Chains A and B, each alone.
Chain A
Amino acid sequence: MTLLLLTLQGVLARRRSWWVGLLAAGAAALLTPSLALVETIHDGTRRSLIESGAGHLQVYHSGSPETPVLLTGPGGAPELVPFEDFPATEALVRSVEGVQDVVPMEAGTASVFRGNYLDEKLAAVRAVTREPASEARDARLGRLAEDLRRTLERVAHDERQREQAFAGDVGLPEDRRTLEAVTADAFWVRFRTNPEAALEYLEERVAKLAGEGESLSLDYLGTDPVQFARAFPRFELLSGELPPPGSRGILLGQAAYEQNFKLPIALRLDELRREREHGGSFADERLKTQVERNLAELPDLLSRLDVERASALRATLVRVLGHEGELEPLLREFLSVEDGTFDTRYRLFYDELAPHLPLYRVRPGETLTLRNRLLSAANVPVRVWGTFRFRGLGGDTSQVNSTCLVDLVSARLLAGRQTREQQEEARALVAAFGMSKEQLSADTLGRPMIVDVEPQAPGAEAPVLERSEVAGSVSDEELRAGSVLHAAIVLRPGTSAEDVTVRLQRLVAERKQPLAIVSWEEVGGLFSGVVGISQLVLGVFAALLAFFVLLVATGTLLLLAKERVGEVGTLRAMGMQRREVFSSLLLEGLVLGGVGGLLGSGLGAALLLGLAGGGIPVSDDMLQFALGGAVLVPQLAVGHILWVVAGVLGVVMVASLVPAWRGSSVPPVVAMRRRED
């Protein structure tokens, strides 16, 4: 007690020692909110990943050269060995206490090709020509032909402009002649008598003049979409419906749907709205450019409209703008938005104009043809069932909402893995062809066999084949028993992932199963990296701060110890032991560090709660995913304060060791002599 009183007296008597306490308080005030923020970020990313597909754990074949990922990078999907028997694996994993669900999955990237607006328009006309002959069909075809002719006249106009820009291009005279031919009356007379031949001509000679078209990339997760929606609480269906159990098809991520399939003019209006919500003004060059791009793309939009839609759109524009006019000038006026008109026009665009526009290139219920261009895999037509997003994880541009869900069978086909039925057919065909695997051995150079063959006489006409429907449903056995690459494990609330990992690993070892387990952090890839980086930054910051506190505190305490040599000598002369002096000096550090740490932590916590207690709004889509939602609410725990106080205390204690040792090691005689000096 005496020692403590003596220490407190020492601290109170020497105000310079308070600097050490202030340093400790400052460090604690900085570290407490930082630790809470990093912990909140970690928790946010953890929840984001776990609740949007990663699950708490992922299980995969241990013989795989790579580990599973949720979002594929530029290198494509990871190379994984399929489970030997997924139903058995699933049963094994489900038997572990704490496991709630096991969701099969595989990540990949597919491409969708879309042609230019003429390709689309000609395809629409072609579809009408295929309808059974009727007066109504002919009337519609006539209207479409008239509309097509106007479109081609516009293309011809563009082409003339292009010719001026690229004079001397050898391809242009031929293109010009073609355009002149298809905008002449004679061509449209022929169109009426033989529309299919005229369409062929337009498709072969004219469509390419409107551009090459483009290939879109879609990131997908092959899974059981219904089970996925049930297992991951962030899943939110936005349009369409969930595929009925056992159905094949795709659910498009809302961001993928908006970015890839939405009418570009509408997409740009959405971007303008976002910019304005963030304080943007049409005085900004960026916003002005967006408006100009919309106006520049009007011919493209007009070319996509058939005659019925164009008439309806014009009537709507006349009504909302309050005056007559042709469609293009009316649209131009409507889209020439500025600060005062944007909000009204934006609302009118969606309420009044959008119903007459091809707002999306594909809608739920229609079919998309997917392809994996990196592999020699066949086309995979899939029905679009609807669109979805992960609730609270970014809006229409969020990367996580760019992921689509396809059924497992389609995912296997996209990855070049056949269904069992296809494998059986392939084996039968190979036998029927009279071929065998042995013939595939690589030869060295050798002279080829020459056989004399009589050309066959023209035989029967080419066969007419049964058109297979877009696969709608598939048996549960085909879904589950086919190859599965990895599976997400979702745990029951309150279950520790570490405990389940240990239990599962024990079971896998007992059963000698070739299974490996990874946590959500490894599956998260880039996003987990954000957490790692924030933790690293905090660690470096804390280490630098500790080093600074250590240096300054040591220097200050050494100086104080030097000043106190005489006092120490007197105390020693009065019979105080060296050990007691050492403890007293060390206790001073403890008091300074403890009080400073507590006050600093309290201050940091108050600041955090005062400034950000209500939550920090997160508008950026990417950050929303990394931070776990649209609002970051720092979670301050008693543990954070204890950790910080303990850390600061530890640093100050270490800083006190040398001064305490130096101060206590002075012999009384020397100390007394110094005092006399």
Chain B
Amino acid sequence: MKPSARLPVLLVALLVQVPVLAAEPAKAPAADSKAATGASREELVAYLARIDKRMTFTSDYKGTVRIMGLSKQNSETAVEIHVYRRDKTRDLLFMTTKPKYMAGSGYLRVGNNLWEYEPTVGQWTRSTMRANISGTFTCEADFERSRLAEAYEPKDEGTEVVDGVTYRKLFLTGKPGTEVSFPLLRLWVDPDLNIVKRIGYAPSGKPLRTDIVRGYQRIKDPLTNEFVYHYKEVMEEEAEEGSRVLVRYDEVVLAPLDPSIFTKSWLESRSR
């Protein structure tokens, strides 16, 4: 993680005071592992790679994400975002279509550059931080392909049995020099390799966000003819404010996208 990206995360972490931490501290694994599998690092990396593969499209991707948020003060927000992504080149574009006052705004990532567009003033901001998306606390990484094996160093935390189902627990640490939204991550994975819960932590170990993955959609990738398990519904809870959002992924289109989509001119041309 670059220092420029680490700073805001650290700042956020400093401000976060959350009871969840007390219940689920980001301590070193194995200490609380009652049934550690004792898997080697290579096995764990391979395990993460399998999870990544199941969630990665080879085709270009277009989808619509709808987010409902509820703040601690009980006020509602609703956002609809069109997501365009090309996993081969890590190009990513978000265009907010609803609500009206945010329509036309967006984020564009090309390589390591991330820009934010404000259509009311026609202004692009080259962002130095991985910002939250469209006024919610979902982040860029939620909409791109899974990069767990590339970006994190895994440690085994054994298993946890709930209602007769055994979930595997992994504790991941972001690799140096890698841009990740959460420097530390704890995962619960079901026997079919579906992530069912994850908690993102700041480097200090303070929890930032807890996600419950309630549903996946199984889609056949036309390029590989293999099934990809893509999120359908995720409930995210921000540790600091206690705000929650429900994220739904709809209307997935797997087909080649015009390269001009991943340009500033294209997003500008969407606002009249």
Mark contacts of B84-124 with chain A using CB atoms, 8 A cut-off: 1 yes-contact digit, 0 otherwise: 00000000000101111111110000111101101111111
A443 x B235 contact (CB < 8 A): yes
Count of A interface residues, CB-CB < 8 Å: 68
Contact with A along B213-246 (1 / 0, CB 8 A): 1111111101000000100110101100001111
Give the complex CA separation of A101 and B166 in angstroms. 66
B128, CB-defined interface residue at 8 Å: yes
Q: Which chain B residues border A113 with CB–CB below 8 Å?
A: 125, 127
Segment at the interface with B among A58-66, A433-441, A624-632: A433-441
**Tally of contacts, chain A with chain B, CB under 8 A:** 219
> B196, A446: Cβ atoms under 8 Å?
yes
Task: Spot the interface stretch: B23-31, B37-45, B141-149, B249-257.
Answer: B249-257
Residue A450 at the chain B interface, CB threshold 8 Å: yes
A376 to B120, CA, bound (A): 19
CB distance from B185 to the nearest CB of A (A): 16
Whether B120 pairs with A423 at a CB distance below 8 angstroms is: no
* Contacts A426-B76, A448-B194; A381 near B128 (Cβ below 8 A): no
Q: B212 near A: Cβ within 8 Å?
A: yes
A378 touching B220 by the CB < 8 A rule? no
Q: B250 CB to closest chain A CB, in angstroms? A: 9
Q: In the assembled complex, how far is the CB of residue A411 from the closest CB belonging to chain B, in whole angstroms?
A: 16
A463-493 contacts to B (CB < 8 Å): 463-470
In the complex, B70 has a CB within 8 A of chain A: yes
Residues of chain A contacted by B165 (CB below 8 angstroms): 445, 447
Task: Looking at the assembled complex, report how far the CB atom of B80 sits from the nearest CB atom of chain A, in whole angstroms.
Answer: 7
- Pair A445/B197 contact, Cβ less than 8 Å: yes
Looking at the complex, which one of A127, A378, A427, A446 makes contact with B134 (CB distance below 8 Å)? A378
The yes or no answer to B190 lying at the interface (CB within 8 A) is yes
Given known contacts A447-B194, A466-B103, A204 and B111 CB-to-CB distance under 8 angstroms: yes
A412 vs B24: C-alpha distance when bound (angstroms): 34
Is A450 in contact with B196, judged by CB distance below 8 angstroms? no
- B163 located at the interface, meaning its Cβ lies under 8 Å from any Cβ of chain A in the complex: yes
Residues of B within 8 Å of A377, CB to CB, are 135
Docked CA distance A423–B216 (Å): 30
Size of the B side of the interface (Cβ < 8 Å), in residues, is: 93
Is residue B248 within 8 Å, beta carbon to beta carbon, of the partner chain? yes
B113 touches A378 (CB 8 A): no
A453–B197 alpha-carbon span in the complex (Å): 22
A373: Cβ under 8 A from any B Cβ: yes
Given contacts A449-B232, A463-B270, contact A200 B121 (CB under 8 A): no
**A465 cross-chain contacts in B, Cβ below 8 A:** 97, 103-104, 119, 270-272
B50 proximal to A (CB < 8 A): no
How distant is the Cα of A213 from the Cα of B114 in the complex, in angstroms? 13
- For A204, A213, A457, the residue with the greatest tally of chain B CB atoms inside 10 Å of its CB is A204
A462 pairs with B246, CB closer than 8 A:
no
Find B110's partner among A204, A369, A447, A450 (CB 8 Å cutoff).
A204
Interface hits, A132-188 → B, CB 8 Å: none
Q: Which residues of B contact A203 (CB under 8 A)?
A: 113, 115, 124, 126, 264
- CB of B99 within 8 A of CB of A437, answer no
Task: Give the nearest-CB partner of B197 in chain A.
Answer: A445
The distance in angstroms between the C-alpha atoms of A449 and B190, with both chains bound, is 12
Residues of A within 8 A of B66 (CB): 433, 435
**A470–B121 CB distance below 8 A:** yes
Interface pair B248/A433, CB less than 8 Å apart:
yes
Among A429, A446, A453, the residue within 8 A (CB) of B78 is A429
- Given contact pairs A200-B265, A369-B123, A442 touches B4 in the complex (Cβ within 8 A): no
Residues A451 and B102 in contact, CB atoms below 8 Å apart: no
**Is the pair A435, B253 in contact by a Cβ cutoff of 8 Å?**
no
CA distance A204 to B162 in the complex (A): 48
If A455-B219, A467-B271 touch, does A429 touch B98 (CB 8 Å cutoff)?
yes
The residue of chain A having its C-beta at the shortest distance from the C-beta of B60 within the complex is A458
Stretch touching chain B among A2-10, A279-287, A414-422: A414-422
Determine the chain A residues whose CB is within 8 A of the CB of B97 once the complex forms: 463, 465
One digit per residue, 1 when the CB lies within 8 angstroms of any chain A CB and 0 when it does not, for chain B 61-81 equals 010001010110101111010
Select which of A200, A376, A439, A452 is within 8 A of B135 by beta carbon: A376
* Cβ–Cβ < 8 Å partners of A379 in chain B: 105, 116, 118
B97 to chain A, nearest CB (A): 6
B19: interface (CB < 8 Å): no
Q: A208-B126, A449-B215 are in contact. Are A381 and B160 (CB under 8 A)?
A: no
User: Which residue of A has the minimal Cβ distance to B161?
Assistant: A445
* Contact residues in A for B270 (Cβ distance below 8 Å): 462-465
- B137, B210, B238, B265: most-surrounded residue (chain A CB, <10 A): B265
Q: Is the CB of B196 within 8 A of A445?
A: yes
> Does any Cβ of A come within 8 Å of B175's Cβ?
no
Across the interface, which residues of A come within 8 angstroms of B105, CB to CB? 378-379
Q: At the interface, is chain B mostly helix, strand, loop or mixed?
A: strand
Are A430 and B78 within 8 A (Cβ)? yes
Query: In the complex the two chains form, is B252's CB within 8 Å of A429's CB?
Result: no
Cβ of A123 < 8 Å from any Cβ of B?
yes
Decide yes or no whether A367 CB sits under 8 A from chain B.
Answer: yes
- Report the Cα distance A443→B115, complex, angstroms: 35
Whether A459 lies near B253 (C-beta < 8 A) is yes
* B222 touching A448, Cβ below 8 Å: no
Q: How far is the CB of B101 from chain A (nearest CB, A)?
A: 6
Docked CA distance A340–B78 (Å): 64
**Given known A-B contacts A369-B123, A430-B76, A458-B253, A213 and B128 have beta carbons under 8 A apart:** yes
Q: Across the interface, which residues of A come within 8 angstroms of B70, CB to CB? A: 437, 440
Residue of B nearest to A119 (CB): B126
Task: Please report which residues of chain B, range 173-208, place their CB below 8 angstroms from some CB of chain A when the two chains form the complex.
Answer: 188, 190, 194, 196-197
Q: Are A430 and B68 in contact (CB under 8 A)?
A: yes
CA distance A443 to B80 in the complex (A): 24
> Is the pair A453, B218 in contact by a Cβ cutoff of 8 Å?
yes
Q: Chain A contacts of B121 at CB under 8 A?
A: 367, 369, 381, 470
* Distance in Å: Cβ of B95 to nearest Cβ of chain A: 7
The minimal Cβ–Cβ distance linking A350 to chain B, given in whole angstroms, is: 29
B196 touches A467 (CB 8 A): no
In the complex, B35 has a CB within 8 A of chain A? no
Distance (Å) between the CB of B170 and the closest chain A CB? Answer: 14
Residue B263 at the A interface, CB < 8 A? yes
Interface assignment of B167: CB less than 8 Å from any CB of chain A: yes
How many Å from the CB of B165 to the closest CB on chain A? 6
Which one of A119, A417, A453, A467 contacts B104 once the chains associate, using CB atoms below 8 Å? A467
What residues of chain A lie closer than 8 Å to B82, measured between beta carbons? 462
Contact B235 A440, beta carbon cutoff 8 Å:
yes
Residues from chain B with Cβ under 8 Å of A127 in the complex: 122
Asked whether A670 is an interface residue with its Cβ less than 8 Å from the other chain, the reply is: no
Residues on B with beta carbons closer than 8 Å to the beta carbon of A212: 4, 128
Contacts of B46 on A, CB cut-off 8 Å? none
Minimal beta-carbon separation of A534 from chain B (angstroms): 33
B118, B167, B213, B243: which contacts A376 (Cβ < 8 A)?
Answer: B243
* A-B pairs with beta carbons under 8 Å apart, 19 shown: A115-B125, A197-B263, A208-B112, A376-B135, A381-B118, A426-B78, A427-B76, A435-B66, A435-B248, A439-B68, A443-B214, A445-B160, A445-B197, A447-B194, A448-B194, A449-B232, A459-B253, A464-B269, A468-B104
- Given contacts A435-B78, A455-B255, list 13 more A-B pairs with CB under 8 A: A115-B126, A130-B268, A369-B125, A378-B134, A416-B71, A442-B244, A447-B194, A448-B213, A448-B232, A450-B194, A450-B215, A452-B218, A467-B119
In order of increasing CB-CB distance, the 3 nearest A-B pairs are A429-B78, A378-B135, A467-B271
